[in-house]
Copies of this chain bind each other. A is one copy, B any other.
Amino acid sequence: MRIVVANVNTTERVTEAIGVQASSVAAPGTEIAAVTPSFGAASVEGNFESYLAAVGVMDRVSAVTEPFDAVVLAGFGEHGKEGLAELFEVPVVDITEAAAHTASLLGRRYSVVTSLHRTTGQIRDRLALTGLDSRCASVRATGVPVLDLENDLDSTAEHIAREAQQAIEVDGAEVICLGCAGMAGLDERVSERIGAPVVDGVTAAVGLAETLVRLGLKTSKVGGWATPLSKEISGWPLSGR
């Protein structure tokens, strides 16, 4: 099985980290192909950048030439899932929904701890469309920008754990979701600190994607995610289309 894991920003180092994280949980026989958009922002922290990323990811995944069995959209709270779901028949799993679905199995309420405060509203909106916002206790921000998350992993884990603890004590969360693909790999560290399950969206999405493939399930084409109609798309050198 081959799963394309698409980073939403253009920072190769982040793509690599996501790829490593995804591979670490993949079943034997699952190949992870981590890809980077050929245009867009170095980090995605807002709607303007997120809409760019949606197109960047659609472009990049469309350019993949080898066959694949599933797509993971590795941007927390980002736009694009519905577009990818239209373009491909294979399952598309967004790490936002993957984290929320997974956390919902493990406790009554979950909270998301993300990077910058400015992205919390966008995350709320994406969770609302997923339908799992009623189980979301809160979306909290550490204030650490995406590209600084890796500078000092211990310090980052500490920042996340502090907000996670508040989410549990004040907001009533029972499970924590790491609200940024760049936090991948910190789940165990944070979990040990707070004594509650911590879900990383990237690994959760890989697990869900593998499950969907193994069950032979594909994206529904009878409604809102039907294949785009064949029509003229001009002025845009969209890769591979």
Chain A interface residues (CB < 8 Å from chain B): 10, 25, 27, 37-43, 45-52, 54-55, 58, 79-80, 82-83, 85-87, 91, 93, 97, 101-102, 104-109, 118-122, 125, 128-135, 145, 168, 172-175, 188, 195-197, 199-200, 203-204, 207-208, 210-212, 214-226, 228-229, 231-236
18 cross-chain CB contacts under 8 A? A39-B233, A40-B236, A41-B232, A46-B228, A47-B85, A49-B228, A82-B125, A91-B105, A105-B208, A107-B224, A108-B125, A128-B129, A174-B224, A174-B225, A197-B217, A197-B220, A207-B215, A208-B208
CB distance from A37 to the nearest CB of B (A): 8
A104 in contact with B131 (CB, 8 Å): yes
**Distance from A118 Cβ to chain B, minimum over Cβ atoms (Å):** 5
Closest B residue to A82 by CB, please name it: B47
Choose from B38, B85, B131, B174 the contact partner of A222 (Cβ within 8 Å): B174
Q: Given that A51-B83, A220-B175, A222-B174 are known contacts, is A106 also in contact with B212, CB under 8 Å in the complex?
A: yes
Q: Complex: how many Å from CA A128 to CA B109?
A: 14
Residues of B within 8 A of A107 (CB): 219-220, 222-225
A214 contacts which of B27, B50, B120, B216 (Cβ < 8 Å)? B27
Whether B25 and A236, one on each chain, are in contact in the complex, defined by CB atoms closer than 8 angstroms, is no
Q: Would B40 and A108 count as touching, CB distance under 8 A?
A: no
Distance in angstroms between the alpha carbons of A106 and B209 in the assembled complex:
11
Among B37, B93, B106, B235, the residue within 8 A (CB) of A219 is B106
Chain B contacts for A120, CB-based, 8 A: 224
The CA-CA distance from A222 to B121 in the complex, in Å, is 12
- Asked, given contacts A174-B225, A224-B108, A234-B10, whether A135 binds B131 with beta carbons under 8 Å apart, the answer is yes
Most buried by B among A10, A83, A223: A223
Looking at A43, A51, A121, the one whose CB has the most chain B CB atoms below 10 A away is: A51
Q: Is the CB of A125 within 8 A of B134?
A: no
Check A102/B27 contact, CB under 8 A, given A40-B236, A229-B45, A231-B42.
no
Residues of B within 8 A of A220 (CB): 106-107, 174-175, 196-197
